[in-house]
């Protein structure tokens, strides 16, 4: 019985891990960021986790991660994700996802969901766009 539950969880996780990305909705992209990243903005909902009824929160978060920027901008994007999921009625899940993106979204790992994924790896944090608005991150 326990083995079948583990198998079901693995199937769900693999299905989410293979979720297809799609182009960003242009309204989510901050066109004031200059220069723009060379790779097109893509979103995939909540990447390797269930989207439930808050996939749009994750899409906005993905769009913000695409262009990257400073460590402070990343923190604000992650806080906006947590607020959006909380406002959707999932405060516990919001906390889990917040800590997951804080740990796994670092620009120092060559993942497809890292901060600044629109740029070639490695890029790291940049300070040049610190004064730019954080459009697309508010719930």
CB 61 within 8 A of CB 77: yes
Is 11 inside any structural domain? no
DSSP code, position 122: P
In tens, the pLDDT along 37-82 reads 999 999 998 887 877 889 999 999 999 999 999 999 999 999 999 9
Is 1 inside any structural domain? no
Is 14 inside any structural domain? no
Confidence of residue 18 (pLDDT cuts 50, 70, 90): low
SS3 state of residue 14: helix
Is 125 inside any structural domain? yes
Is 4 inside any structural domain? no
Is 38 inside any structural domain? yes
What global pTM score does this model have?
0.77
Is 15 inside any structural domain? no
Q: How many CA atoms lie within 13 A of 1 on its CB side?
A: 0
- Cα–Cα–Cα angle for 11, 59, 29, rounded to 5 degrees: 150
Is 13 inside any structural domain? no
The number of domains in the chain is 1
Tokens standing for residue 77: 């994007």
Q: Which domain holds residue 75?
A: 21-139
């Amino acid at each position: 019985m326990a083995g079948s539950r583990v198998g079901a969880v693995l199937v769900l996780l693999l299905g989410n891990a293979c979720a297809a990305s799609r182009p960003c909705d242009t309204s989510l992209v901050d066109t004031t960021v200059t220069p723009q990243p060379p790779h097109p903005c893509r979103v995939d909902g909540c990447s390797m986790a269930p989207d439930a009824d808050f996939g749009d929160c994750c899409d906005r978060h993905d769009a913000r991660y695409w262009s990257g920027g400073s460590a402070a901008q990343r923190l604000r994007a992650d806080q906006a994700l947590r607020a959006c999921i909380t406002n959707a009625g999932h405060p516990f899940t919001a906390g889990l996802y917040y800590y997951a993106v804080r740990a796994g979204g670092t620009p120092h790992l060559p993942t497809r969901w890292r901060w600044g994924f629109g740029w070639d790896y490695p890029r790291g944090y940049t300070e040049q766009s610190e004064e730019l608005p954080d459009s697309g991150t508010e719930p």
